Amino acid sequence: MNEANYTGETTLDPEQIVAVVTDSVAQVPAEIERQLAITVIPFTVHVNDQVYLDGIDLNPTELYRRMRLEKILPTTTAASLGQYQQAYTTRLRAGAQAVLHVALSSKLSSGYSTASHAAVMVRDEFPDRQVVVLDSQQATITQGFVAIAAARAAAAGKTLSEVWQAAEKAKQQVGFSATLETLEYLAQGGRIGKAAFMLGNLIKIKPILTIDDGEVMPVSRVRGENQALQAMVDYVARQVEGHRKLHLAIMEADAPEQAERLQELALQKLQPTEIFHTEFTPVMGVHTGPGLIGLGYYFYE
């Protein structure tokens, strides 16, 4: 599928002033996307000579299987200027008075810059409307949680300023921990040295990753899968301590058994209000490799 076939059309509630847009990297569950009328703009994944739209015509499980068995090395790109323009104008023509785009961290992608450029162009076309882009400083489901918080405020008929504030507040209440099956893909992407990759795999070191100030970074290292799963839960427990309402998301890239064990540990220790599963977006999985396991959180009260 090419970008010309993507319309991103959705129905706007007559009481809703602000339309919320985000990227496919945010991993917003399809049901929530429909319920809250969130427009999701797909990033692209390139596999050999084929171009796929993330979340539309690309099956994550199949991609991760090919990465394991065929050793393919896909690449990724953010959405184009035209895709952003199309998404914004579609929502404005549907009746929105304003558009808020919750973007992937500007430190991880050019998407934020391109989206901001598109917003200026659309504002010129619709001078009586507002189109703004918020740097979520997040990625994966934590970006999704920010977009969901904004969309819930929009669905309640809040103004653009109030929807923006809801998103900014959510940015301070979300995060994730994750671990990798192998350091191979980080090494191939130049994110760690070859020596570190070889040593890490030799002694089965598992890095525990999180996102801070818009960048993915390690918070600890443990040895072995079981210790890694427990370390992820312990990290999230420290971040959400003292908060009564907690939403969790289990992320996995072709690692269903590990995801099941992670859920068991999370339920025992964290007792969330809600927990759901989401496949790790291929746009990020290309750089981390299959086998990633992650635990995203959003707390309040």
* Residue 8 pLDDT grade (very low, low, confident, very high; cuts 50, 70, 90): very low
| 191 plus 156 within the same structural domain | no
What is the arithmetic mean of pLDDT over 255-274? 96
- Give per-residue pLDDT as tens, 213-263: 998 888 888 988 999 999 999 999 999 999 989 999 999 999 999 999 999
pLDDT at 125: 96
Q: Tell me the whole-structure pTM to 2 decimals.
A: 0.90
Domain tally for the chain?
Answer: 2
User: Is the pLDDT at 159 greater than 60, yes or no?
Assistant: yes
| 151 plus 251 within the same structural domain | no
Q: Of 117, 145, 171, which residue constitutes the final position of a domain?
A: 171
* Residue 13 pLDDT grade (very low, low, confident, very high; cuts 50, 70, 90): low
- Determine the structural domain holding residue 122 and report its residue range: 3-43+78-171
For residue 178, which of 212, 145, 203, 146 has the smallest C-alpha distance?
212
pLDDT at 21: 98
Position 153: which residue type?
A
Q: Are strands 44-47 and 293-300 parallel, antiparallel or unpaired?
A: unpaired
Q: Of 142, 171, 200, which residue constitutes the final position of a domain?
A: 171
Please check whether residue 216 lies inside any domain of the structure.
Answer: yes
Number of H helices, E strands in the chain: 11, 13
Tell me the backbone φ, ψ of residue 245, rounded to 5 degrees: -110, 125
Please check whether residue 164 lies inside any domain of the structure.
Answer: yes
